[in-house]
């Protein structure tokens, strides 16, 4: 199907506006009225706008029975709808159906015209019978109407044939779509199998690391024994095991383990080895979010534009997830206008307690982030929501778990965020890549996402506790998203003031899951 924007014609718009004018006299919501009419609310909305459904390239025009049913509802409610208004509404409907790009609407229009012509023909017959065929003008009119009737029947048959052909093509298109979805499901299964294989490989690698550690200990013991023996013999020890130690270090490097970090901390610390329950959310919020940093304001603006562009004119019947939330609420605030429910996934016990305490009514310093979201050309979607605290309380839930647990929820969420997580929980590039893959795989195909990373991070501390980080740049970040996402844009955000030492900037990735 063409990607061009599909807009209804002017006749469909005029009919939809007149229909909506009558609907407004009920004083009820579209959901209530749709229930009374026994139709889907989205169909009623398209009746008013004339816009097509997602699977149709044509406009949407309410049929006569739907218009009549709405008029009866209004009159039964005590509101007034004059006969002149009813006549005008049906005149607009017939014009819109005749000009519609939908074959079934054109067929309905021809059928109604056919019925009108048949009534007129019968009227002519009655007049002819009453005048006993003595009125030549009526005879001529009867013949003319009969000819028009035959022509209308012919056009109706042609329109029905074209509608049948269109229906056949639609069935074929649906079949092709189903085949594509089946192929996508098969690819997801392959991806899950590859992810399981990667986890098994990492477990084997960890076992090898432990074996290497034990071997180093044995080498140390042997070295001390050799030194002791050579000392007793009065001979200077020449470190006979030095070559062996060098070979062990080389083997460790080739097996995937990284070298000692230049600051003295080990660079291969994994996520499970970090003291996440010692994370201090109060210190972290005080340092990073008590006042809004310029870097965060830029991130908020870019992600707002990305999501607003994707979700424009859509309802909130969607779900979102923020992965590794920590004590950070602005990812959830960015998603508020577009989703009905938001899951905050977090591992640290202290951070979970902080997030749960924020649910009833979050702290006032988060207001500055909301005000930033309300600014700009896309800010009206946020400003029109009313009280964000009440919406936050109803929409957000907190879930305990890690980024890697998402492998059990493939294709679940409609939108996702992950800010400063995958590169800030481990020093392993393997775990970093697996973390990004778990995040993107948890989203539905086509779902938009935003992910932020500290560029070339050397690790960080919160309070007195050190936490690991994996040093990644734009090349590594771009590579890890290639193949699992599309429409990717990487924004580099400079660290003009420097939030903390040990990094060179920030990278924000916006895109959609493939």
pLDDT of residue 245: 36
Distance CA 387, CA 380 (A): 14
pLDDT of residue 9: 83
The residue ranges of every structural domain in the chain are 10-175, 199-265, 276-513
pTM: predicted TM-score of the whole model, two decimal places: 0.51
pLDDT of residue 501: 80
The tokens for 97 are 């159906």
Does residue 423 contact residue 432 with C-beta atoms inside 8 Å? yes
Does residue 345 contact residue 272 with C-beta atoms inside 8 Å? no
Distance CA 364, CA 288 (A): 15
Return the residue matching tokens 């056949």. Answer: 168
Beta bridge partners of 486: 512
* Of 255, 281, 283, 280, residue with least CA distance to 268: 255
Per DSSP bridges, beta strands 396-400 and 341-346 are parallel
Does residue 199 contact residue 242 with C-beta atoms inside 8 Å? no
Q: Which residues in 251-265 are b (16+ Cβ under 10 Å) and which e? A: ebeeebbbeebeeee
* Of 28, 86, 85, 19, residue with least CA distance to 46: 19
Sign of CA dihedral 326, 331, 337, 342: negative
pLDDT of residue 259: 32
CB-based contacts of 207, cutoff 8 Å, min separation 6: none
* Assigned architecture for domain 276-513: 3-Layer(aba) Sandwich (3.40)
Decide: helix, strand or coil at residue 113. helix
Distance CA 265, CA 452 (A): 25
pLDDT of residue 209: 63
Decide: helix, strand or coil at residue 240. coil
For residue 252, the 8-state DSSP code is H
pLDDT of residue 169: 86
Does residue 438 contact residue 195 with C-beta atoms inside 8 Å? yes
CA 370 to chain centre: 20
As a whole number of Å, the CA-based R_g of the chain is 34
Distance CA 448, CA 115 (A): 50
pLDDT (tens place) for every residue of the chain, 514 residues total = 444 456 778 988 999 999 999 999 999 999 999 999 999 999 899 888 888 766 655 668 888 999 999 999 999 999 999 999 999 999 999 998 888 877 777 777 778 877 777 887 788 777 767 766 666 777 788 888 889 889 888 888 898 888 888 888 888 888 888 888 888 888 888 888 777 777 777 777 767 766 665 665 565 556 555 555 665 565 444 333 333 333 333 333 333 333 333 333 443 478 888 999 999 999 999 999 999 999 999 999 999 999 999 997 666 789 999 999 999 999 999 999 999 999 999 999 999 999 999 999 999 999 999 999 999 878 899 999 999 999 999 999 999 999 999 999 999 999 999 999 999 999 999 999 999 999 999 999 999 999 999 999 999 999 889 999 999 999 999 999 999 999 999 999 986 555 678 899 999 999 999 9
Segment holding 449, helix H or strand E: strand 448-455
Distance CA 373, CA 415 (A): 18
* Of 51, 153, 154, 48, residue with least CA distance to 100: 51
Share in percent of the chain as helix, strand, coil (round to 5): 60, 10, 30
Distance CA 130, CA 136 (A): 13
CB-based contacts of 81, cutoff 8 Å, min separation 6: 22, 25, 71, 74, 75
The tokens for 444 are 């539905």
Distance CA 159, CA 491 (A): 53
Return the residue matching tokens 């070295």. Answer: 223
* Of 22, 44, 25, 42, residue with least CA distance to 33: 44
pLDDT of residue 142: 81
Distance CA 502, CA 508 (A): 18
Distance CA 92, CA 100 (A): 12
């Amino acid at each position: 199907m063409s990607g061009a924007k599909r807009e209804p014609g002017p006749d469909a718009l005029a009919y939809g506006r007149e229909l909506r004018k009558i609907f407004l006299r009920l004083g009820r919501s579209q959901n209530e009225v749709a229930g009374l009419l026994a139709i889907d609310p989205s169909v009623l909305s398209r009746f008013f706008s004339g816009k097509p459904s997602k699977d149709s390239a044509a406009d949407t025009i309410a049929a006569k029975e739907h218009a009549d049913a709405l008029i009866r509802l209004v009159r039964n409610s005590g509101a007034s709808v004059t006969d002149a208004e009813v006549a005008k509404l049906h005149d607009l409907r017939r014009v819109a159906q005749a000009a519609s790009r939908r074959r079934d609407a054109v067929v309905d229009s021809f059928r109604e015209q056919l019925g009108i012509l048949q009534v007129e023909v019968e009227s002519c017959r009655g007049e002819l019978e009453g005048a006993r065929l003595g009125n030549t003008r009526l005879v001529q009119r009867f013949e003319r109407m009969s000819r028009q009737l035959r022509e209308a029947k012919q056009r109706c048959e042609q329109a029905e044939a074209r509608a049948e052909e269109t229906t056949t093509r639609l069935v074929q298109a649906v079949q092709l779509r189903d085949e594509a979805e089946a192929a996508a499901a098969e690819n997801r299964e392959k991806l899950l199998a590859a992810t399981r294989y990667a986890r098994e490989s990492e477990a084997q690698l960890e076992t090898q690391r432990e074996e290497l550690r034990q071997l180093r200990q044995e080498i140390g013991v042997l070295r001390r024994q050799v030194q002791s023996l050579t000392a007793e013999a009065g001979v200077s020890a020449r470190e006979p095991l030095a070559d062996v130690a060098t070979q062990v270090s080389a083997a460790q490097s080739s097996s995937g383990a990284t070298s000692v970090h230049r600051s003295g901390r080990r660079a291969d610390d994994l996520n499970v080895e970090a003291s996440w329950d010692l994370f201090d959310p109060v210190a972290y919020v005080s340092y990073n979010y008590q006042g809004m940093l310029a870097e965060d304001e830029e991130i908020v603006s870019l992600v707002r534009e990305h999501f607003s562009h994707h979700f424009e004119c859509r309802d909130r019947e969607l779900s979102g997830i923020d992965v590794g939330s920590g004590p950070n609420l602005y990812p959830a605030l960015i998603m508020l206008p577009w989703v009905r429910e938001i899951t905050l996934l977090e591992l640290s016990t202290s951070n979970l307690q902080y997030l749960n305490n924020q649910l009833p009514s979050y702290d006032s310093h988060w207001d500055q982030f909301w005000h930033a979201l309300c600014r700009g050309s896309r800010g009206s979607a946020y400003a029109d929501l009313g009280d964000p605290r009440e919406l936050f309380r109803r929409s957000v839930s907190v879930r305990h778990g890690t980024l890697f647990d998402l492998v059990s929820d493939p294709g679940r969420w409609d939108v996702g965020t992950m800010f400063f997580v995958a590169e800030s929980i481990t020093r392993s590039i393997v775990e970093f890549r697996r973390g990004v893959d778990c995040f993107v795989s948890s989203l539905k195909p086509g779902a938009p996402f935003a992910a932020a990373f500290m560029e070339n991070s050397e690790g960080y501390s919160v309070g007195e506790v050190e936490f690991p980080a994996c040093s990644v740049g734009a090349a590594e970040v771009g590579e890890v998203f290639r193949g699992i996402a599309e429409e990717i844009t990487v924004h580099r955000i400079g660290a003009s003031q420097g939030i903390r030492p040990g990094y060179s900037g920030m990278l924000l990735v916006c895109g959609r899951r493939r």
